């Protein structure tokens, strides 16, 4: 899963980026509104963390422009403590949730997980597909109750497929959602990650639909 962090305060941006990366997300960062608007309209994200007080273009304007262009990505806005009018403006401009500064990192992560669950119509906190269980809260995967050790990229591939269980996910879409913007993207490595996941989870865990992509769950 891939998240865009839009924050102009360098220290906070680094803290958010490190926490999300540790939680298993591919992370892109923008420190001003112009860069944020560009990335949001040209890259694929599963969620956005958006500060409102940004240089060049303010966060509310960025958010409105995204929504006007049809961008439906869940957005979590960061607001100043007690600034209720910013919260109202943010929600009215298309935000899905907010958290007030200063905040606990665990709250940001929990709210992001909830936004992504709702976006994929998955009310339960645990993702289950057959004998496989994935817990986004701890970035843990089990097979028939036994823990399975995955690399960060293997986890991202599995998490994305399980969030879209039953749907055929094209290889290019997977590539977009497991790498950050500045990472070297090679769609062929997705095949390597799929092969590794099959070795760890069982040969039939992930189905290849020839010419279309990969699917977990559903019927062949």
List the structure tokens of 168: 């055929």
What does the block give as tokens for 98? 């907010």
pLDDT digits (tens, 9 = 90+) for 163-173: 999 999 999 99
Cβ atoms of 71 and 40 closer than 8 Å: yes
Percent of the chain scoring above 90 in pLDDT: 78
pLDDT at residue 219, rounded to an integer: 54
**Residue found by looking up tokens 């290849």 in the block:** 208
Note the pLDDT tens digit of each residue in 132-187: 999 999 999 999 999 999 999 999 999 999 999 999 999 999 999 988 877 666 66
- The model's pLDDT over 175-218, given as tens digits with 9 standing for 90+, comes to 999 888 776 666 678 999 999 999 999 999 999 999 899 999 86
Question: What b/e string do you get for 70-106 counting C-beta neighbours within 10 Å, with b at 16 or more?
Answer: ebebbbbbbbeeebeebbebbeebbbbbbbbeeeeee
Chain segment 22-81, per-residue pLDDT in tens:
999 999 999 999 999 999 999 999 999 999 999 999 999 999 999 999 999 999 999 876
- Write b or e for each residue in 2-18: b if 16 or more Cβ atoms lie within 10 A of its Cβ, otherwise e: bbbbbbbeeebbeebbe
Mean of all residue pLDDT scores within the chain: 92
pLDDT(220) > 80: no
Q: Hey, is 38 helix, strand or coil?
A: helix
Strand pairing report for 97-101 and 140-143: unpaired
Q: Tell me, what DSSP letter sits at residue 170?
A: P
| Domains detected in the chain | 2-119 (3.40.50.2300), 127-215 (1.10.10.10)
Q: Is the dihedral of CA 36, 156, 15, 104 positive or negative?
A: positive
């Amino acid at each position: 899963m891939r998240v865009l962090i839009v924050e102009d305060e360098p220290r906070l941006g680094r803290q958010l980026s490190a926490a999300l990366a540790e939680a298993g997300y591919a992370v892109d960062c923008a420190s001003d509104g112009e860069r944020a608007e560009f990335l949001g309209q040209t890259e694929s994200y599963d969620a956005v963390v958006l500060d409102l007080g940004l240089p060049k273009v303010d966060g509310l304007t960025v958010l409105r422009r995204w929504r006007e262009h049809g961008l439906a990505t869940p957005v979590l806005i960061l607001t100043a403590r007690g600034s209720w009018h910013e919260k109202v403006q943010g929600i009215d401009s298309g935000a899905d949730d907010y958290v007030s500064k200063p905040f606990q990192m665990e709250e940001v992560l929990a709210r992001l997980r909830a936004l992504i669950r709702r976006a994929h119509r998955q009310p339960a906190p645990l993702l289950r597909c057959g004998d496989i269980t994935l817990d986004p809260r701890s970035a843990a995967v089990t097979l028939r109750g036994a823990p399975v050790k995955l690399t960060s990229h293997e986890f991202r591939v599995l998490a994305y497929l399980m969030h879209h269980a039953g749907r055929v996910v094209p290889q290019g879409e997977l590539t977009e959602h497991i790498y950050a913007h500045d990472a070297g993207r090679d769609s062929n490595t997705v095949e390597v990650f799929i092969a590794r996941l099959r070795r760890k989870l069982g040969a039939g865990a992930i189905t290849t639909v020839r010419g279309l992509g990969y699917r977990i769950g559903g019927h062949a």
